[in-house]
């Protein structure tokens, strides 16, 4: 079998953990499997590099930031290969140039376009374990790009797809996908299986286990994904197209505190205003999530929407620059909000799921700010300080502890 | 003018120094010059990375070590470009892949073969300052190589040659080339000019100011080299083909403590033995410097030679493995030795220079272990602990303080 195995920063944070990971992969190699590893930067190294950059320049050019950050994974893969050499196992480290990991142009949040597999196959044929830098790529100018936070997951899945791997394992510091974040909900239960769609909604909504683009890719190419702990041998959670019906209405509840609500007040109430606003934001590569438009009054209307907290500064500056052009009166920014979502393929065939969620929040005296829904998901925006109570109340109401 | 400027690790060791360097180069840029910078890794970063490697693996695979070490310069160049952005000056950082800095295959001590200048010229034409990673290259397998300690000097001179630069400045933590190391000889005097040949001998012999391969390259392509301080605006030393005759017999005295003497005892006294020994050592990429062969006795002979201290372990292991094949009795290793040399184009036309050096060492009661000479250089091997006394005695005897 050809196995792709991705290890995050905490899994390679120090010498001991690097050797743990190496020994674990060595077993698969010695059992005759072909092993391709994808590594993140060690521990908090990406944050360390980011701090170095900010110390030099408050808003460093994104091209140069990617050039800087990409060194983190290169250090990890080189050290891992040295660990294999100590264990007498042949291996080779490869960076984005060496693999030829082609991405789109955008620095900081590039998307993988094409992966050349020639070099990797060549090294695998020479019986080497191949260790690839996650998170990074090169664009058509031969410049280094990064895929955004958590991008190493995407690298792993894309490699699995390009190499026609039999399986892609994502090793992390949790034991799998839970019905809720165990740090918030003590009764949270580990799921054995979950569909791509459910995982996608959980990932997008901040479950924090997997990068959402990696799940999209896995779904697109039908790559079985396994999320499991790098610290023990427990089974983890399998993400695949169809799962056994567990008779569950919903699979999990997720909270995302890293969100900001922006309201643009007093927009002229005429066609094309919303388009102008969101087109501008999209071109700046900011992902808008929930959108709420008020009913027009006095010839004006208000539009509220949520964006990732990290993009707040960029987005606000952008809108402020165009206030006149948008004919807006003022902009209101609220960082003290959180998104709480329930996700489950089961809700497609069961009416009243959203109502049950709203009822349970009403009973807990938690005010709902905005609502958005999809076929398998209901999301509400609430005050950040209510997050923990909300998630526990929902977890209880839907009986997720089993 | 097209200027190549190289800054060593101490010149970019922290935020303040990075900005100092940026502001200095900004002046040349604003005066209308095209500026290409070559940077080393920040401060002691290369040593930090080396320690990380050794912690994982006592003798890490050299390919992976180069992969690891090359991240150091990439961090420097990205941060420098961010500093220029703060100052409002357009710039771009380029690593060995992006420039296409082709080298020989050998990891850890590769030699530059060919530099593609297309990307650099393109960026210069777009009025950007170009900041290139020193010390590193890529070989024909697309693997990262490094040029050995001090290799950034070589990168700078090679770039200057490839770009037909008007001048190559090497910025360092000393003010230029001195008649002797000022830390050893308080009376040492800064030289205004020195020939490539003299500098080459000084560099090879451990003057520590310039990497010897960089001087060889500058000589080959006739690139005027300027060695100057990154901390102040003092004039520095110009290295070029012909210098004004300063009426000096010798230009300087250099000491190299990082040297090991190896003696192979009881070699069979037949043709080809020396060839076998040194061919074997050369193939391991170890530079042999002084060689002394004893007169044969009882059908055997002894060969002594010096090598860089760092190569001691590799070289001794190599010889020990081939003891039988070489029919040698034993090997004797002495790390407590130092090379002391006098260098000067003037000595070609002045007899008695070597004799004067030996006399002065005799007067200082310092024993000479081995001797080697070239047209413009006399080198002696002495006990390491006599180094300081020897250098000062010679500096005095030849009146180098002026």
pLDDT tens per residue across span B211-247: 778 888 999 999 999 999 888 888 899 998 876 655 5
pLDDT value of residue A277: 87
User: Angle at Cα A288 formed by Cα A284 and Cα A290, nearest 5°?
Assistant: 165
pLDDT at B318 over 70: yes
A381 closest CA partner among A261, A264, A288:
A261
Q: Which residues of B touch A143 (CB under 8 A)?
A: 98
Res A290: pLDDT: 85
- Token pair in block for residue A397: 């109401």
In a domain, A364, yes or no: no
The confidence score (pLDDT) of residue B352 equals 80
Q: What is the mean pLDDT of residues B84-110?
A: 96
Q: What is the pLDDT of residue B227?
A: 92
| Total number of domains in chain A | 1
Q: A245: which residues sit within 8 A by CB, 6+ positions away?
A: A346
Average pLDDT over residues B141-155: 91
Closest-approach residue (CA) in chain A for B18: A56
Report CA-CA distances (Å) from A178 to A377, B90, B244.
Answer: 16, 48, 79
Judge whether B195 is closer than 8 Å to chain A, CB to CB.
no
Q: Where are the alpha helices (DSSP H) in A263-386?
A: 273-283, 312-321, 323-326, 353-363
With respect to residue A315, please indicate whether it lies within any of the assigned structural domains.
Answer: no
Residues of B in contact with A86 (CB under 8 A): 56-57
Q: CA–CA separation, A16 vs B196, rounded Å?
A: 50
Domain that holds residue B162: 2-173
pLDDT, averaged across chain B: 90
Give the HSE-up count for residue B55: Cα atoms under 13 Å, Cβ half-sphere.
14
Per-residue b or e along B126-165, where b marks 16 or more CB atoms closer than 10 Å to that residue's CB: eebbbbbbbbbbbbeeebbbbbbebbbbbbbbbbbbbbeb
pLDDT at B349 over 80: no
Residue B350 confidence (pLDDT) above 60: yes
Residue B27: inside a domain: yes
Tell me the three state secondary structure of residue B266: strand
Across residues B146-157, what is the average pLDDT? 90
Ramachandran class of B395: left when φ > 0, alpha when ψ lies in -120 to 50, beta otherwise: alpha
What residue has token string 């040698």?
A: B328
Percent of chain B with pLDDT over 90: 57
Which residues in chain A have Cβ-Cβ distances shorter than 8 Å to B15? 55-56
In a domain, B151, yes or no: yes
pLDDT for the residue numbered B328? 85
Task: Suggest the residue from B79, B107, B133 to mutate for an interface test with chain A (most A CBs closer than 10 A).
Answer: B79
Q: What is the pLDDT of residue B245?
A: 53
Read off the pLDDT of residues A186-245 as tens digits, 9 standing for 90 and up. Answer: 888 888 888 898 888 876 665 667 877 888 899 999 999 999 988 888 889 999 887 655
Helix (H, G, I), strand (E, B) or coil at B102: strand
Query: Is residue B199 a contact partner of residue B210, using CB atoms and an 8 Å limit?
Result: yes
φ, ψ of residue B104 in degrees (nearest 5): -70, 175
The four Cα atoms B28, B30, B32, B33 give a dihedral, to 10 degrees, of: 30
- Asked if the model's pLDDT at residue B400 lies above 60, the reply is yes
CB of B152 within 8 Å of any CB in chain A? no
Q: What is the mean pLDDT of residues B187-204?
A: 84
Residue B310 CA to residue B13 CA, distance in Å, equals 25
Distances, alpha carbon B57 to alpha carbons A18, A127, A292, B50, B61, in Å? 12, 21, 57, 10, 9
Q: How far apart are the C-alpha atoms of B144 and A300, rounded to whole Å?
A: 60
Domain CATH for A53: 3.40.1160.10
Count of beta carbons in the 10 Å neighbourhood of residue B336:
11
Residues B371 and B261: their CA atoms lie apart, in Å, by 13
**Residue B335 to residues B259, B277, B347, Cα–Cα distance (Å):** 7, 20, 30
Size of interface A-B (CB pairs under 8 A): 105
Substitution target from A17, A19, A42, A78 for chain B, most B beta carbons within 10 A: A78
Residue A313 belongs to a domain: no
Per-window interface: A 50-79 vs B, CB < 8 A: 52-53, 55-57, 60-61, 63-65, 67-68, 70-71, 74-75, 77-79
Q: Give me the helices (H) in A89-176, please.
A: 96-99, 118-125, 151-162
Contact A65 B78 (CB under 8 A): yes
Residue A141 lies in a domain: yes
- Look up residue A30 and give its two tokens: 């010695």
Q: Does residue A347 fall inside a structural domain?
A: no
pLDDT value of residue A28: 96
Contact A82 B60 (CB under 8 A): yes
Please name which of A126, A133, A45, A125 lies closest in space to residue A93, comparing C-alpha atoms.
A133
* Whole-structure pTM value: 0.79
Our CA-based measurement puts residue B155 at a distance from the nearest CA of chain A, in whole angstroms, of 20
Residue A63 lies in a domain: yes
Please say if the pLDDT value at position B206 is more than 70.
Answer: no
Residue B269's Cα: distance from chain center in Å?
A: 36
Residues in chain A predicted with pLDDT less than 50, given as ranges, are: none
Distance CA A96, CA A111 (A): 13
């Amino acid at each position: 079998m050809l196995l792709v195995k991705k290890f995050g920063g905490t899994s390679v944070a120090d010498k001991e953990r690097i050797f743990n990971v190496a020994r674990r992969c060595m077993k698969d190699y010695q059992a005759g499997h072909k092993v391709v590893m994808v590594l993140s930067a060690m521990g908090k190294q990406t944050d360390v590099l980011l701090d170095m950059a900010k110390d030099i320049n408050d808003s460093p050019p994104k091209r140069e930031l990617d050039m800087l950050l990409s060194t983190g994974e290169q250090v990890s893969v080189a050290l891992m290969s040295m660990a294999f050499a100590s264990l007498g196992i042949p291996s080779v480290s490869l960076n984005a140039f060496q693999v030829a990991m082609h991405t789109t142009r955008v620095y900081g949040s590039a998307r993988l376009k094409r992966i050349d597999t020639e070099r990797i196959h060549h090294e695998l044929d020479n019986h080497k374990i191949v260790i690839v830098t996650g998170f990074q790529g090169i664009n058509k100018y031969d410049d280094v790009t990064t895929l955004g936070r958590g991008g190493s997951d995407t690298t792993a899945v894309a490699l699995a797809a390009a190499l026609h791997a039999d399986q892609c394992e994502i090793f992390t510091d949790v034991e799998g996908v839970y019905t809720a974040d165990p740090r918030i909900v003590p009764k949270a239960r580990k799921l054995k299986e979950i569909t791509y769609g459910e995982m996608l909604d959980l990932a997008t909504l901040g479950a924090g286990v997997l990068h959402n683009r990696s799940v999209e890719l896995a779904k697109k190419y039908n790559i079985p994904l396994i999320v499991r702990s790098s610290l023990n041998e427990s089974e983890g959670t399998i993400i695949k197209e169809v799962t056994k019906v567990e008779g569950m209405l919903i699979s999990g509840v997720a909270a995302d505190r890293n969100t900001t609500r922006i309201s643009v007040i007093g927009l002229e109430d005429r066609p094309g205003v919303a388009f102008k606003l969101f087109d501008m934001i999209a071109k700046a590569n900011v992902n808008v999530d929930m959108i709420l438009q008020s009913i027009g009054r006095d010839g004006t209307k208000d539009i509220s929407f949520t964006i990732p907290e990290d993009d707040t500064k960029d987005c606000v500056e952008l809108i402020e620059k165009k206030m006149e052009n948008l004919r807006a009166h003022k902009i209101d920014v609220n960082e003290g909000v959180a998104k709480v979502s329930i996700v489950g393929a089961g809700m497609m065939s069961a009416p009243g799921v959203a109502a049950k969620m709203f009822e349970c929040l009403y009973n807990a005296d938690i005010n709902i700010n905005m609502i958005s829904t999809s076929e398998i998901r209901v999301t509400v925006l609430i005050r950040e300080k209510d997050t923990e109570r909300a998630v526990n109340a929902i977890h209880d109401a839907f009986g997720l502890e089993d």
